[in-house]
Amino acid sequence: MLKTNSALLMRGAPKTLTPDIERSLFLDIEKHRAIIAHLTTIEPRTLSESARMGASRRRVREIRNHIVEANMALVLSVANRFTSHNVDYNDLVSAGIDKLFYCVDRFQVQKGFKFSTYASRSLWRHFTHLHVAERKHQDNRVDCDPFDIANITAAESNDADRDATLDMRNMLKNNTANLSKMEMEILSLRFGLKTGSGLTLKEVGVRYGLTKERVRQIQRGALNRIREVMGVA
């Protein structure tokens, strides 16, 4: 995969995919995978059927590469924010590209979200796990969530992440994940939806007479439900 990653980096970033083109590409992937799945059940296959299967597999590979290339800016943007965390930048980019291919395979276009929303949250989560693994020997617990206020605020400075940020804020505003009143209030304070500035776990806990760990548990449960709705891996 490293050779593939290097090739992707050298090609440069293609034009951003429009929502309609992006949707069309993912639907095309689903169509060709359905063809492959159907032909796989046929034994023995004719030369024509084998040729058709090969063509579908090539088309899926082409589309996957195209989508990943179009979203390389997202990988580089998120990786840049973790370079100060004792993790090699090149390793982050390589891992990010691998994760992006994984996101293409898992993305469900029918959910109505943009791929950048799904991929951005997955990358944040993936890089956070890598960061935590690097620092597991330290005493201080890392409180870094891919949906946390610091990440969302940082994401707003980059065009590639802005759609993901807006989708996330709209989900909280409209309570798409059917959160409880307490969960909504805690996330609103943590994400700064009411004040424009997010509070720490401790500050939220003081307001509600809760421990920092209890606030963390409520936040984690709420974010997990949001991830389920968004289909984030």
In the chain, the domains with their CATH numbers are 2-138 (1.20.120.1810)
Is the N-terminal amide bond of 146 cis, ω within 30° of 0? no
Note the pLDDT tens digit of each residue in 103-159: 999 999 998 888 988 898 889 888 887 766 665 544 344 344 444 444 444 444 444
Number of Cα atoms under 13 Å in the Cβ half of residue 112:
4
Length of the chain: 233
Taking every pair of C-alpha atoms in the chain, what is the biggest distance, in angstroms?
Answer: 71
Question: CA-CA distances (angstroms) from residue 23 to 114, 116, 129, 181?
Answer: 9, 12, 29, 34
Buried b / exposed e over 198-213, threshold 16 CB at 10 Å, is bbebeebbeeeebeee
pLDDT value at residue 86: 63
Residue indicated by tokens 């956070």: 128
Residue indicated by tokens 């063809």: 35
DSSP assignment, residue 138? S
Residue indicated by tokens 């709705």: 229
- With a CB cutoff of 8 Å and minimum separation 6, the contacts of 157 are none
pTM of the model: 0.61
Helices 115-134, 89-106: crossing angle, 10 deg rounding: 140
Note the pLDDT tens digit of each residue in 30-55: 999 999 999 999 999 999 999 999 99
pLDDT value at residue 9: 46
pLDDT score of 198 more than 70: no
Does residue 152 come out as left (phi exceeding 0), alpha (psi in the -120 to 50 range) or beta?
Answer: alpha
Question: CA-CA distances (angstroms) from residue 215 to 130, 137, 189, 204?
Answer: 24, 25, 11, 7
Local confidence band at 89 (pLDDT 50, 70, 90 cut-offs): confident
